Amino acid sequence: MKQINKGFPKDFLWGGAIAACQAEGAYDVDGRGLSTSDIHIYDKHMNRANIEQEGGGTLAYIKAAIEDKEGYYPKRYGIDFYHTYKEDLKLMKELGLKAFRTSISWSRIFPKGDEEQPNEQGLLFYDKLIDEIIKNDMEPIITMSHYDIPLYLVTEYGGFANRKVAEFFETYGKILLDRYKGKVKYWIVCNQVNLVPVVQFGSLGLYDNQAENMEELMYQAVHNQFVAAAKIVEAARTIDPNAIMGTMVADGTAYPASCKPEDVVLTMKKNRMQYYFTDVQLRGEYPGYALRYFEENNIDLKIQDGDEAVIRNNTMDYMAISYYYSLIVDASKNTMEPFDALQNPNLEPTPWEWRADPLGFYNSLSQYWDRYEKPIMIAENGLGAIDEIVDGKIHDTYRIDYLRKHIAQMKECINDGVDIISYLSWGPIDIVSSSSAEMSKRYGYVYVDLDDYGKGSGKRMKKDSFDWYQKVISSNGEDLD
């Protein structure tokens, strides 16, 4: 009989994760072109509890933002990781990380996106970065597309809604596979493919009012991205047979607000439309419930000859997920619109209305495993909070408490037989927030002395959580106190 698991496997990848567009800065250095992240302005008047859209806008807004000399665009500057990566990775090694996830900025490699030849200076930077990750005894886990689409592909081509952009992405992916074969084993092709329409600008390169039926355009862009991702997986089998290819979703698993059948059924239907993305990329075909949804909502996808075969024959090796919070669904208040859900009154909010739910972590991981039985990578999990320096120290007990409870539930899943290969804590060093473009929404074990306008010394400082996570890693998840 199969043995019951007892804790984390010996080769478990304890790590951390960042994104190029939130950390690197140097947006106009060494030939890099503008990307979708570079026009996400900081708005001090934002409603933190209700951020409906992450960047983007109309085509006119985008073009105005490109020319804007007054507003502050934090993702253009990040934490200057482009120049500080060696020192920062030394801190990550001291922390004990076994893996480090980051992304490659597409517009560093192809500044406009449609060039025939890549920008060698951009590739040279990632040569050095990946070598440095390996030198510091960490497994590099690399995301090919993380909200860093060359802006030219948006303004001139209309993003992934245009099949040409999918072809450009395929070319870019093959360049990366060839350049880093033998160095990068784990690839995430696209970050959080399901987080639309909230991040459809960064994820798909779609701008506001681009078409009369924006939902149809969105799902067409998703389909084109599916095809490009499958072709990249197909190429990986030849270029680097040892490469392990994955897709990533932002967990959207919801609870019914009550046991009323209407709440239960609507929740099930909404959860299925979250699973739709991984159903296609892990099972290799469009599920019937999605096809019905498209028909009933006047969504007519243009699927070319050969698309279904390439998706079917090139499924992903594993799934990566980000998990932060859970939501509930009330049939009398919510619709089938993605992420149209309510806050759980039984959970405490953060200033950004993200309600921590460790048991929800256990629930969602279990559901994914039961559905696919494919390895799972925790690509992001963490607590964004406002940290205060008191007597030269940062006592972030709230972060430790959040992480402790989530890691404990991850261990419960492993003991159930769920194959979890890594835990990549989001933001092991403070970076610019993806959703709000703030520095003050901090996740890291390492504090970075910069404010929401990029002012400060940039000095790095360890928080109390640094020592705590160091202990968790050295004990392989046994010591969570």
Residue with tokens 């680097």: 240
> CA 179, CA 182: separation in Å to the nearest integer?
9
- 65 vs 353, residue with greater confidence: 65
Residue with tokens 């030394």: 90
Per the DSSP assignment, residues forming a β-bridge with 254 are 327
Band (pLDDT 50/70/90 cuts) for residue 352 is: confident
Interval 239-273: pLDDT, tens: 999 999 999 999 999 999 999 999 999 999 999 99
Band (pLDDT 50/70/90 cuts) for residue 47 is: confident
Band (pLDDT 50/70/90 cuts) for residue 77 is: very high
Model pLDDT, residue 213: 96
Model pLDDT, residue 329: 98
Model pLDDT, residue 2: 76
Q: Is the pLDDT of residue 130 over 80?
A: yes
Ordered DSSP codes for 357-369: -HHHHHHHHHHHH
How many other β-carbons are positioned within 10 Å of the β-carbon of residue 394?
20
Band (pLDDT 50/70/90 cuts) for residue 103 is: very high
Model pLDDT, residue 184: 98
Per the DSSP assignment, residues forming a β-bridge with 247 are 319
> CA 51, CA 451: separation in Å to the nearest integer?
20
Model pLDDT, residue 351: 78
Per-residue buried b or exposed e for 300-336, using 16+ beta carbons within 10 Å of the residue's own CB: eeeeeeebeebbeebbbbbbbbbbbbbbbbbbeebee
Q: Is the pLDDT of residue 45 over 80?
A: yes
Residue with tokens 């253009």: 76
Give the mean pLDDT of the chain. 96
> CA 447, CA 460: separation in Å to the nearest integer?
5
Q: What percent of the chain has pLDDT over 90?
A: 93
For residues 96-113, average pLDDT? 98
Model pLDDT, residue 14: 98
Cis before 197? omega within 30: yes
Q: Are 413 and 363 in contact (CB under 8 A)?
A: no
Which of helix, strand or coil describes residue 74? helix
Model pLDDT, residue 6: 85
Q: Is the pLDDT of residue 50 over 80?
A: no
Q: Are 272 and 218 in contact (CB under 8 A)?
A: no
Interval 411-439: pLDDT, tens: 999 999 999 999 999 999 999 999 999 99
The DSSP element (H or E) to which 370 belongs, if any, is helix 358-372
Q: Are 22 and 431 in contact (CB under 8 A)?
A: yes
Interval 268-315: pLDDT, tens: 999 999 999 999 999 999 999 999 999 999 999 999 999 999 999 999
Residue with tokens 């990380």: 97
**DSSP for residue 390:** B
Residue type, position 307, single letter: D
Give all domains of the chain, ordered by start, each with its CATH number.
Answer: 13-474 (3.20.20.80)
Band (pLDDT 50/70/90 cuts) for residue 5 is: confident
Q: Is the pLDDT of residue 55 over 90?
A: no
